[in-house]
A and B are shown apart, each in its own frame.
Chain A
């Protein structure tokens, strides 16, 4: 590989990692909206399962940021890439093969859990060509393939210029101090081995994983923080826990876990700030929410761009403060609604 090729590949790698960051970011508002839409005294087991998954998506975001920083990238968190819903994630202009459906900000419901299962579904081999409007089109990769190719790029670049790829400053890495809530362990990335460990964690826990074996599933029964995301959402969807003898390819057959989809705030799906008339309580709360969301994102951006300490502020002053506003918003009637809908935070960047 000559220098030009190396630089091209490095750019491609950074673009992929930026997209990976956004993939992880994108799942968070929908998971959090579903979680917070659950009325406080109901569906506790389901809520804990969703919360655990959301925590891990945050970890994945941090892991991708660490890989990016390790190879000298500049992770971008800004207005231009702040996700807007409904959203379909694309790669080079085409939806991922296993993510062709849009993701919405929606209440906790059978439909939203079904979508979450699709998001986290273990990959299966996808046929590489498909007939679409009678034109042969090559679909984008699956998310698992996308991550696999990203790891391969890392390997190639590391082999092409040994010792030069991981030139990032060790001080820019996010460390374990910031993941106390059960999202798993963070990896400090300084070389190919740790970069692969970080990305493998991302894939293993969530989107893009291969189906689990019976033994692996059995070993995580009763330990939801170790269970793959897909299986956790399956437990909610089928209102049952997995048992140690269950087949990962089939619905769970263990103890019942009743879910009450009625004990949920009837929030408006994919609300936008423009849906709330100026001066209304919903508008006021949503503005407050978006202001905090934006501030938190800015802090998050700082944290992954050379000031890891800012993550603590983002968590304690940003994230934790958003919850109470979101809950209040979800109890606030949607202005002008005739079907009893309530408002929902819109997760929009405000300047």
Chain B
């Protein structure tokens, strides 16, 4: 088996790289290896099942919770703070784009200068302006609907689709923020709208069932790859499912010559030769693949001579706070399954040193659930009373935390040193994560700021809150750096010390900022493909 370019993984990074490579060179040979299998998308039957049961068809391709006394579970958590993997990512064709929410933010200029501004971590090897054109292309690739007049960030091209309007339910939070002078805007989201540009993908109909879109209007990488295969735009593109990449094969110290994968169906190991390999397997799996690719030349894993692979693990703590609206005369309740209002007021240079954060008016900010009332068999009068009366209202958000050398991912091993495999067939993961000592103090500051907004809304805090460290945005574990002392990949995303091995995943982010990483990942993927196209040398 041979391909010019082998891409490990079939998520958004793989798709954006493959598409950009092939647009430039339609005859290029590109093989995508995906460990998982296909989950049917855009299927009305599965959609109905999801609506009735709230069970998604990809649920079985996620990590199980960590083991507990009476539950075998998967993976291990070895640090002081549990960072759950359960529900954080999807191992299937299309990767985590099967379940993502579509929030598509750009980083802010200061995010590229974290070290210079705060002393934390490292700086990016380039700045916002250098990435800006790629952000535009990424917004087109993901079909983002957003507000092109938003003054917060400089942009050279409008969003491909106009923003979704605020919902009525956003009003109390918007009012509260207005009173305090806290800025907010439209949340950019990867849901296709309608424009004059033809597309083979369908626009959003706001069915409010985004976790399983019946039309494929919310970007899912597999729908795009399927479309390219279906219409055979590029004969050299192929996708192999159930191909669990076991290791990268080196050819001397400075080169890889392919990968070895397990064929899920036959159980056999198989080699693929490649002129270059692009690892796009998500942050955690990308790092683990490098770590387990041990050879005489790379005794601790490829690219890991300085023990940096898998380290500096970060994610976004996701917090919720609740206030109580004394009455709900507008009958505010959930309208759409995605948020429309975001405040990046605290996602600012001023907050960067202690941890910048965004605040979101979630799609179900007002706690009232009509479906629950109906299921309980409540009468119209009871429903009216519940809806019009006092109701909880929530504000959600995410906050930036900083990479620490001791926080890392590796392959989980049992007491005898043996690796065990998860239900997809990948080695299980050990997460070692401990939050910073002053993190709780910082969250009290966040709580105070949110408390002010809730008070201004006339919905004083109930004290109810939550915080999740789930690894949805796990990143930085193969971070990008100008020098090999500081990171794993160079500014072109090439693994330091290897000529033809690249990583494109959230793993390469030096830091995450306060926002969802997918748009930036897509921009980096397009940028990587441009670099490879310019570099040439591979058919």
**A residues adjacent to B (C-beta < 8 A):** 40-41, 44, 47-48, 176-177, 180-183, 185, 225, 312, 315-317, 320
Judging by beta carbons under 8 Å apart, are A41 and B232 in contact? yes
Judging by beta carbons under 8 Å apart, are B198 and A225 in contact? yes
Q: B179 within 8 Å of A by Cβ?
A: no
Measured CB to CB, the closest approach of chain B to A342, in angstroms, equals: 20
Judging by beta carbons under 8 Å apart, are B232 and A40 in contact? yes
Judging by beta carbons under 8 Å apart, are B202 and A315 in contact? yes
The residue from A41, A177, A225, A320 contacting B235, defined by CB atoms under 8 A apart: A41
Judging by beta carbons under 8 Å apart, are B231 and A48 in contact? yes
Contacts of A44 in B (CB 8 A): 231-233
Measured CB to CB, the closest approach of chain A to B199, in angstroms, equals: 5
Q: B203 within 8 Å of A by Cβ?
A: yes
Contacts of A41 in B (CB 8 A): 232, 235
25 contacts between A and B (CB under 8 A): A41-B235, A44-B231, A44-B233, A176-B194, A177-B194, A180-B192, A180-B194, A180-B198, A180-B199, A180-B201, A180-B203, A181-B199, A181-B200, A182-B199, A183-B198, A185-B196, A225-B198, A312-B205, A315-B202, A316-B42, A316-B44, A316-B202, A316-B215, A317-B214, A320-B42
Judging by beta carbons under 8 Å apart, are B198 and A182 in contact? yes
Contacts of B231 in A (CB 8 A): 44, 47-48
In the complex, per-residue mask of B183-224: 1 if CB is within 8 Å of any chain A CB, else 0: 000000000101010111111010000000011000000000
Once the chains are docked, how many angstroms separate the CA of A44 from the CA of B237?
Answer: 14
| Nearest-neighbor residue (CB-CB) of A225 within chain B | B198
Contacts of B196 in A (CB 8 A): 185
9 closest residue pairs by CB, A with B: A182-B198, A316-B215, A44-B232, A317-B44, A177-B194, A180-B203, A180-B199, A41-B232, A176-B194
Contacts of A182 in B (CB 8 A): 198-199
Contacts of B214 in A (CB 8 A): 316-317
Once the chains are docked, how many angstroms separate the CA of A48 from the CA of B215?
Answer: 22
Contacts of B233 in A (CB 8 A): 44
Once the chains are docked, how many angstroms separate the CA of A177 from the CA of B199?
Answer: 12
Contacts of A183 in B (CB 8 A): 198
Judging by beta carbons under 8 Å apart, are B202 and A180 in contact? yes
Judging by beta carbons under 8 Å apart, are A177 and B200 in contact? no
Q: A177-B205, A180-B199 are in contact. List 8 more A-B contacts (CB 8 A).
A: A40-B232, A41-B232, A48-B231, A180-B198, A181-B200, A185-B196, A315-B202, A316-B214
Measured CB to CB, the closest approach of chain B to A38, in angstroms, equals: 10
Contacts of B205 in A (CB 8 A): 177, 312
In the complex, per-residue mask of B216-251: 1 if CB is within 8 Å of any chain A CB, else 0: 000000000000001111010000000000000000
| Nearest-neighbor residue (CB-CB) of B201 within chain A | A180
Once the chains are docked, how many angstroms separate the CA of A50 from the CA of B42?
Answer: 24
Q: Which among A40, A180, A225, A312 has the highest number of chain B CB atoms within 10 Å?
A: A180
Contacts of A40 in B (CB 8 A): 230, 232
Once the chains are docked, how many angstroms separate the CA of A48 from the CA of B231?
Answer: 8
In the complex, per-residue mask of B35-69: 1 if CB is within 8 Å of any chain A CB, else 0: 00000001010000000000000000000000000
Once the chains are docked, how many angstroms separate the CA of A317 from the CA of B202?
Answer: 12
Measured CB to CB, the closest approach of chain B to A340, in angstroms, equals: 24
Once the chains are docked, how many angstroms separate the CA of A181 from the CA of B231?
Answer: 14
Contacts of A181 in B (CB 8 A): 198-200
Once the chains are docked, how many angstroms separate the CA of A169 from the CA of B200?
Answer: 30
In the complex, per-residue mask of B438-469: 1 if CB is within 8 Å of any chain A CB, else 0: 00000000000000000000000000000000
Once the chains are docked, how many angstroms separate the CA of A185 from the CA of B194?
Answer: 11
| Nearest-neighbor residue (CB-CB) of B196 within chain A | A185
Contacts of A47 in B (CB 8 A): 231
Contacts of A316 in B (CB 8 A): 42, 44, 202, 214-215
Contacts of B44 in A (CB 8 A): 316-317
Once the chains are docked, how many angstroms separate the CA of A316 from the CA of B205?
Answer: 11
| Nearest-neighbor residue (CB-CB) of B207 within chain A | A312
Measured CB to CB, the closest approach of chain B to A320, in angstroms, equals: 7
Contacts of A317 in B (CB 8 A): 44, 214
Q: Which among A47, A181, A225 has the highest number of chain B CB atoms within 10 Å?
A: A181
Once the chains are docked, how many angstroms separate the CA of A124 from the CA of B236?
Answer: 45
| Nearest-neighbor residue (CB-CB) of A323 within chain B | B230
Once the chains are docked, how many angstroms separate the CA of A92 from the CA of B214?
Answer: 44
Once the chains are docked, how many angstroms separate the CA of A243 from the CA of B233?
Answer: 22
Once the chains are docked, how many angstroms separate the CA of A41 from the CA of B199?
Answer: 21
Judging by beta carbons under 8 Å apart, are A177 and B203 in contact? yes
| Nearest-neighbor residue (CB-CB) of A40 within chain B | B232
Once the chains are docked, how many angstroms separate the CA of A40 from the CA of B214?
Answer: 25
Once the chains are docked, how many angstroms separate the CA of A181 from the CA of B232?
Answer: 17
Contacts of B203 in A (CB 8 A): 177, 180
| Nearest-neighbor residue (CB-CB) of B47 within chain A | A317
Once the chains are docked, how many angstroms separate the CA of A134 from the CA of B203?
Answer: 58
Once the chains are docked, how many angstroms separate the CA of A176 from the CA of B199?
Answer: 13
Once the chains are docked, how many angstroms separate the CA of A26 from the CA of B502?
Answer: 52
Measured CB to CB, the closest approach of chain B to A222, in angstroms, equals: 15
Measured CB to CB, the closest approach of chain A to B79, in angstroms, equals: 45
Contacts of A176 in B (CB 8 A): 194
Contacts of B42 in A (CB 8 A): 316, 320
Once the chains are docked, how many angstroms separate the CA of A251 from the CA of B52?
Answer: 57
| Nearest-neighbor residue (CB-CB) of A312 within chain B | B205
Contacts of A312 in B (CB 8 A): 202, 205, 215
Once the chains are docked, how many angstroms separate the CA of A182 from the CA of B214?
Answer: 21
Once the chains are docked, how many angstroms separate the CA of A320 from the CA of B216?
Answer: 12
| Nearest-neighbor residue (CB-CB) of B205 within chain A | A312
Contacts of A225 in B (CB 8 A): 198
| Nearest-neighbor residue (CB-CB) of A51 within chain B | B231
Once the chains are docked, how many angstroms separate the CA of A180 from the CA of B192?
Answer: 10
Contacts of A320 in B (CB 8 A): 42
Contacts of B201 in A (CB 8 A): 180
Once the chains are docked, how many angstroms separate the CA of A176 from the CA of B195?
Answer: 9
Once the chains are docked, how many angstroms separate the CA of A44 from the CA of B44?
Answer: 29
Once the chains are docked, how many angstroms separate the CA of A44 from the CA of B234?
Answer: 10
Once the chains are docked, how many angstroms separate the CA of A309 from the CA of B44?
Answer: 16
Measured CB to CB, the closest approach of chain A to B140, in angstroms, equals: 14
| Nearest-neighbor residue (CB-CB) of A309 within chain B | B205
Measured CB to CB, the closest approach of chain A to B193, in angstroms, equals: 9
Once the chains are docked, how many angstroms separate the CA of A108 from the CA of B105?
Answer: 46
Once the chains are docked, how many angstroms separate the CA of A225 from the CA of B230?
Answer: 20
Contacts of A180 in B (CB 8 A): 192, 194, 198-199, 201-203
| Nearest-neighbor residue (CB-CB) of B195 within chain A | A180
Once the chains are docked, how many angstroms separate the CA of A320 from the CA of B233?
Answer: 19
| Nearest-neighbor residue (CB-CB) of A324 within chain B | B230
Measured CB to CB, the closest approach of chain B to A150, in angstroms, equals: 27
Once the chains are docked, how many angstroms separate the CA of A245 from the CA of B178?
Answer: 61
| Nearest-neighbor residue (CB-CB) of B192 within chain A | A180
Contacts of B215 in A (CB 8 A): 312, 316
List CB contacts (< 8 Å) of B503-530 with chain A.
Answer: none
Once the chains are docked, how many angstroms separate the CA of A181 from the CA of B199?
Answer: 5
Once the chains are docked, how many angstroms separate the CA of A267 from the CA of B233?
Answer: 25
Measured CB to CB, the closest approach of chain B to A307, in angstroms, equals: 14
Q: Which among A41, A183, A317 has the highest number of chain B CB atoms within 10 Å?
A: A317
Once the chains are docked, how many angstroms separate the CA of A288 from the CA of B202?
Answer: 24
| Nearest-neighbor residue (CB-CB) of A47 within chain B | B231
Once the chains are docked, how many angstroms separate the CA of A316 from the CA of B199?
Answer: 14
| Nearest-neighbor residue (CB-CB) of B43 within chain A | A321
Once the chains are docked, how many angstroms separate the CA of A298 from the CA of B24?
Answer: 43
Once the chains are docked, how many angstroms separate the CA of A315 from the CA of B200?
Answer: 12
Contacts of B202 in A (CB 8 A): 180, 312, 315-316
Once the chains are docked, how many angstroms separate the CA of A47 from the CA of B232?
Answer: 10
| Nearest-neighbor residue (CB-CB) of B199 within chain A | A180
Contacts of A185 in B (CB 8 A): 196
Once the chains are docked, how many angstroms separate the CA of A312 from the CA of B202?
Answer: 9
